[in-house]
Amino acid sequence: MIRDTTIGAKLWAAAVWATVGFFILNLLAMIGTVVTSSFATRWLGTWLPAGWTTRWYTSAWSEFQLWDVLIVTFQVIGAVVFISGALGVTAAYALARRDFPGKRLLVLLFLLPLLIPPMTFGIPLATVLYQTGLAGTFWGVVAANLVPTVPFVILVMIPFIEQIDPKVEAAARVFGANTFKLFIYVLLPLLLPGILAALLLVLVRTIAMFELTFLVAGPTSQTLVVALYYAVFAAGVRAVQSIDAMAVIYMVTTLIWLIIALRFVNPTQIVTRAKQQPAH
């Protein structure tokens, strides 16, 4: 790698790093504002609050019925992770191992929900779900959230499965494994790291998936992020600190899973889906 040592190059580098630093500083300060406010007794017109308290957490917990919301959130996420894993991994296996007419069209079909923003396809999707009566129910929320996650699992798993030599499977067959044993003893252990990574990414993305849940959720099927939106939307009704306490609870649930996920995946995978394919 060529490192330039002229004055101009050094100034340029300094400017670039200053921009990065400015961005991260603001990001952390923004998060810090929320956390500080959630512990504040009164915070008006000063750098730091007048005093510290944890009572907003108890009040937010009861005001927003966070226990119920958290249970719904994790039920939704659990269902989404399980179903998208089952549908996604099987489809990815077929797409990675077989070439058949219409395969490119099918891959495009799976790519589209990831490229089109949820708001665009969410409105017609919500309309259909309202007409079938699924909207507002638990399964309606799960179904809407599956639309981008199933393709996500497929596209993460295809390159992962492709890099496993098919001769390994052939060898297992030669040594007498039937389809079931092949799956249990050979494929599953080989695929497990990829499945784990894909599902953790699905989990992190689903906690933060606002638009689709917002469009189809009813009062009893709200997830945490939608509840937070309504709380901020109706700001003024409740104390700011109470909303911030809820935001901190949301952040903690998200970040715990993010930290777990980052033990298994590279942070860039949250954005770029596995290895970049050369642009053709």
Partner 1 sequence: MTIALSQFDEVRLDRVSRDFGALNALRDVSLTIRRGEFIALLGPSGCGKSTTLNCIAGLLPVTGGAIWLDRNRVDTLRPEERGFGMVFQNYALFPHLNVRQNIGFGLKMRGRPKAEIDRKVNEALDLVRLRGQENKLPGQLSGGQQQRVAIARAIVIEPPLVLMDEPLSNLDAKLRLEMRAEIRRIHNELGATTIYVTHDQDEALSLADRIVVLRDGVVRQVGAPKELYEAPAHFDVADFMGFRNKLKGKVVAIEGDRTVLDVEGARISGVARERVSVGSTAYAAIRSDDLEVGEAGPNAIAATVDTIEYRGREFVGTAHSAGGLDFVFRSHVPVELGSRIHLRTEDERILVFAEPVQGRQ
Partner 2 sequence: MDAVAHAPAVEHGPSLRQRLAARGFDAVTLLVIPAAIFSLLLFVYPFAFGFVLSFEPKAGGDWLANYRRFFSDPFLYETIAKTLWLAIPVTLVNLLLAIPIAFRVRLMRNQRLLTTLLVLPITLGTVLVAEGLLNYLGPQGWFNRTLMTFGLISQPLKLVHNYWGVFASLVITGFPFTFLLTLSYVTGIDPALEQAAATLGASAWQRFRHVYLPLLMPGLAITFCLSFVQAFSVFPSAVLLGEPAGPTRVISIAAAQAAFEEYDYSMGSAIAMIMGFVQLGIVVAVLASRGLFYRGPASGAKG
- Binding to partner 1, residues 54-113 (CB under 8 A): none
State which residue, 4 or 68, has the beta carbon closest to partner 2: 4
Binding mask 15-54 for partner 2 (x = CB under 8 A): -xx-xx--xx-xx-xxxxxx--x------xx-x-------
For the stretch 142-153, what's the b/e string if a residue is b when 16 or more beta carbons lie within 10 angstroms of its beta carbon? bbbbbbbbbbbb
Q: Which two tokens stand for residue 279?
A: 């642009």
Which residue, among 127, 90, 128, 95, has the nearest Cα to 111 in the 3D structure?
A: 95
Contacts of residue 144, defined as CB under 8 A and 6 or more positions apart, other chains included, come to 122, 125, 126, 129, 212, 213, 215, 216
Partner from partner 1, partner 2, none binding residue 71, C-beta < 5-8 Å depending on class: none
Element (H, E) at 137: none
**Using rule CB under 8 A, residue 260 touches partner 2:** no
Partner from partner 1, partner 2, none binding residue 182, C-beta < 5-8 Å depending on class: none
State which residue, 44 or 174, has the beta carbon closest to partner 2: 44
Find out whether 100 and 181 touch, Cβ atoms under 8 Å. no
Burial category of 177 from C-beta neighbours within 10 Å (exposed 0-12, middle 13-18, buried 19 and up): middle
Rg (CA), the chain: 23
**Using rule CB under 8 A, residue 204 touches partner 2:** yes
Binding mask 4-33 for partner 1 (x = CB under 8 A): x-----------------------------
Between residue 140 and residue 199, which ones bind partner 2 under the rule CB under 8 A?
Answer: 143-144, 146-147, 150-151, 154, 179
Partner from partner 1, partner 2, none binding residue 19, C-beta < 5-8 Å depending on class: partner 2
- End-to-end C-alpha distance for the chain, whole angstroms: 27
Find out whether 140 and 125 touch, Cβ atoms under 8 Å. no
- Residue from the set 60, 66, 76, 95 that interacts with partner 2 by CB under 8 A: 95
Q: Which two tokens stand for residue 256?
A: 């715990």
**Using rule CB under 8 A, residue 165 touches partner 1:** no
- Residue from the set 177, 182, 196, 258 that interacts with partner 2 by CB under 8 A: 258
Binding mask 135-164 for partner 1 (x = CB under 8 A): ------------------------------
* Residue 248 half-sphere exposure toward CB, CA atoms < 13 A: 21
**Using rule CB under 8 A, residue 2 touches partner 1:** yes
Partner from partner 1, partner 2, none binding residue 93, C-beta < 5-8 Å depending on class: partner 2
Rounded CA separation 197/203 (Å):
10
- Residue from the set 87, 172, 196, 239 that interacts with partner 2 by CB under 8 A: 87
Size of the site for partner 1 (CB under 8 A): 3
Q: How far is the CB of 255 from partner 2 (least distance, A)?
A: 7
Q: How far is the CB of 1 from partner 1 (least distance, A)?
A: 8
Find out whether 184 and 103 touch, Cβ atoms under 8 Å. no
Rounded CA separation 70/99 (Å):
43
Stated length of the chain: 280
Q: Which residues make up the interface to partner 1 (CB under 8 A)? A: 2-4
